[in-house]
């Protein structure tokens, strides 16, 4: 067995207290990153975001981070309250929109009242981006002082994930670098601004440019999630 194979199979067994401290710190950082992404303007503001499309009130933009891009979708949802949308803004409902061949999705454990560990597993019939891939992620739900709702979802380090749930031989463990929602309430209590951010590296054989190209489609899941809470939007 070569060194790379050994490294890929390493796992860390950590205490419940250490896991709680790590996930709390990582998720707090992710929440702040999401809030910064939601408050950033377009590329003219010098913050690195470049608008790709702006159609029917939906803004799709991206910003380079290392060898991958972070993608962002922003949308003003009318006749949808923050409380309505947040019911479907979670790791499992989003994963169902990424690919219908989600063969397993379950909460592994609750770390705190608003912080959980989740398994997302896709099957052989999934699209290439997700085929035979699984993700071990944390999900944190936070309400800010101004009423803004934030849901932060990101992968655990592979060594910690392997310690919690050993990888199956035929599965490829992908990496959700960061993702989540920022749902801002407006003066009109029945409307809200939703920002969805995602940076994904599914690992395996897919080249980075292919991942970046397909990631642009992921941010459009806001439309599918909106339909879950508002089947017949107002005209």
Q: What is the pLDDT of residue 205?
A: 56
* Cβ-count burial 53-73 (b if 16+ within 10 Å, e if not): eeeeebbbbbbeeeebbbbbb
Which of 108, 91, 203 has the alpha carbon at shortest distance from 161? 108
Specify the CATH number for the domain of residue 127.
Answer: 3.30.530.20
Report yes or no on 2 lying in a domain.
Answer: no
Residue 68, pLDDT above cutoff 80: no
CB 89 within 8 A of CB 195: no
Residue range of the domain that includes 192: 12-229
- Where is pLDDT greater, at 142 or 68? 142
Place of tokens 């992710």: 30
- Supply the pTM of this predicted model: 0.83
Which of 95, 117, 125, 80 has the alpha carbon at shortest distance from 233? 80
Q: What is the pLDDT of residue 10?
A: 59
pLDDT confidence tier of residue 104, bands split at 50, 70 and 90: confident
Q: What is the pLDDT of residue 202?
A: 65
Report yes or no on 211 lying in a domain.
Answer: yes
Percentage of residues in the chain having pLDDT higher than 90: 26
Report yes or no on 7 lying in a domain.
Answer: no
Report yes or no on 203 lying in a domain.
Answer: yes
- For residue 165, give the 3-state DSSP assignment: coil
The number of distinct structural domains making up the chain is: 1
Report yes or no on 52 lying in a domain.
Answer: yes
Report yes or no on 165 lying in a domain.
Answer: yes
Interacting residues of 181 by C-beta distance below 8 A, sequence separation 6+:
34, 85, 86, 89, 149, 150, 151, 194, 195, 196, 197
Report yes or no on 207 lying in a domain.
Answer: yes
Q: What is the C-alpha R_g of the chain?
A: 18
Report yes or no on 235 lying in a domain.
Answer: no
In this structure, the strands spanning 50-55 and 58-65 are: antiparallel
Q: What is the pLDDT of residue 83?
A: 85
CB 76 within 8 A of CB 57: yes
Give per-residue pLDDT as tens, 143-202. 999 989 999 999 999 889 988 888 877 888 888 889 999 999 888 778 889 999 988 776
Of 1-15, 75-89, 91-105, 209-223, the least confident: 1-15
């Amino acid at each position: 067995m070569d060194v790379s194979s050994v490294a890929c199979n390493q796992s860390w067994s950590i205490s419940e207290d250490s896991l709680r401290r790590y996930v709390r710190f990582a998720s707090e950082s992710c929440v702040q990153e999401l809030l910064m992404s939601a408050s950033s303007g377009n590329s003219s503001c010098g913050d690195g975001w470049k608008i790709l499309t702006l159609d029917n009130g939906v803004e799709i933009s991206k910003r380079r981070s290392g060898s991958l891009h972070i993608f962002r979708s922003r949308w003003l949802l009318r006749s949808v309250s923050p409380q309505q949308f947040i019911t479907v803004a979670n790791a499992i409902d989003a994963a169902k929109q990424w690919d219908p061949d989600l063969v397993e999705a379950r909460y592994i454990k609750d770390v705190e009242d608003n912080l959980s560990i989740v398994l997302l597993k896709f099957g052989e019939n999934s699209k290439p981006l997700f085929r035979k891939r699984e993700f071990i992620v944390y999900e944190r739900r936070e309400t800010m002082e101004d009423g803004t709702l934030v849901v932060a979802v990101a992968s655990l380090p592979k060594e910690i994930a392997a310690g919690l749930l050993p990888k199956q031989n035929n599965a490829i463990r992908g990496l959700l670098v960061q993702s989540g929602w920022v749902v801002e309430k407006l003066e009109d209590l029945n409307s809200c601004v939703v920002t969805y951010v995602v940076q994904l590296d599914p690992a395996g054989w897919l080249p980075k440019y292919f991942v970046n190209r397909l990631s642009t489609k992921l941010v459009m899941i806001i439309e599918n999630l909106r339909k879950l809470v508002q089947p017949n939007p107002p005209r």
